[in-house]
Amino acid sequence: MASNPVLVVHGGAWAMPDDMVEAHVRGVRNAMAAGWRVLEREGAALDAVEEAVVVMEDDETFDAGRGSFLNRDGKVQLDALIMDGATLRAGGVGCVERLRNPVRAARKILSESPHVYFVAEGAERFAAEHGIELCRNEELVIAREVERLREYQTDAAGHGNDLFAPAISHDTVGAVALDGDGNIAAATSTGGTLNKAPGRLGDSSLIGCGCYADNLSAAASTTGWGEPIMKLVLAKWTADRISAGNLPEWAAQEAMNYLQQRVNGHGGIIVLNAAGQFGIAHNTPRMAWGLKTVAKEEAGVERGAA
């Protein structure tokens, strides 16, 4: 049965300052436009979420692709996952340093490998063997982030656990989509946490944690403090609530309540089922989000819990 397409994107959940709102809203709108171009010509949800995420990886506003936070050694290390709700096939990369668009490599893994996940040099080798051009890590580093890391490390003694505070940017990006054939998909991409230890992997690229899609339940993408989200396998937890009969709007809010109450975590989530019902929620002051259907388009930074 034909479905009306739906696309939902997010660009991070944190205490976003006023002077960054416009860039975030513009970024998610650009991502929606790219994803919608796929859906309106009857393309697959999987292609739509890939294209939407690529736009945000290329936008230095977000903590994904070029412009990402630097790790403790001053390098960009990127993670991404993409998942197809129709087949449960997924592709993920972790701790890659030479890929401009890690979601492109994740998609290649989904489509052309029997495996689900590649990390570090192995992921880069797979990408190169499948036609994805590698770059130097320096090409992903921008002056703003060099200065941000310097300031953080200079004042490290006074930070304590503030590295994970809501005031510290968590600009992970993600998208979920429903296509005209009734299939759903999800993708999530991130540069991780400021000053993270080299080799640290967050929730974004872990199946069921920061990203999940199953036509029988829902597609979900999370953003926020990765460690608590991982402990709860939050994307899959949310999808399971929907398969049990709960509306995505309710399940998204419950996920944020669960994250806060169970492990004192913070972040945001977007979720979409195969009926086109969606949920957008966060327990941070703001989250960059966008929604597009045949009938409407919305984007903003404040919705759901705040």
For residue 119, with 0-12 CB atoms within 10 Å meaning exposed, 13-18 middle and 19 or more buried, which class applies?
Answer: middle
Most distant CA atoms of the chain, gap in Å? 59
Give me the catalytic one of 61, 87, 172, 293.
Answer: 172
Structure tokens at 29: 């709108």
Instruction: Determine the Cα–Cα distance for residues 64 and 62; give it in Å rounded to an integer.
Output: 6
Residue with tokens 């994904």: 64
Between the alpha carbon of residue 268 and those of residues 160, 163, 166, 195, 222, the distances in Å are: 23, 17, 11, 21, 6
Structure tokens at 195: 């000053």
Indicate if 293 belongs to the active site: no
Torsion of CA 181, 207, 198, 99, to 10 degrees: -20
Which residues touch 58 (CB under 8 Å, ≥6 apart)? 65, 66, 100, 101
For residue 134, with 0-12 CB atoms within 10 Å meaning exposed, 13-18 middle and 19 or more buried, which class applies?
Answer: middle
Residues annotated catalytic, as ranges: 172
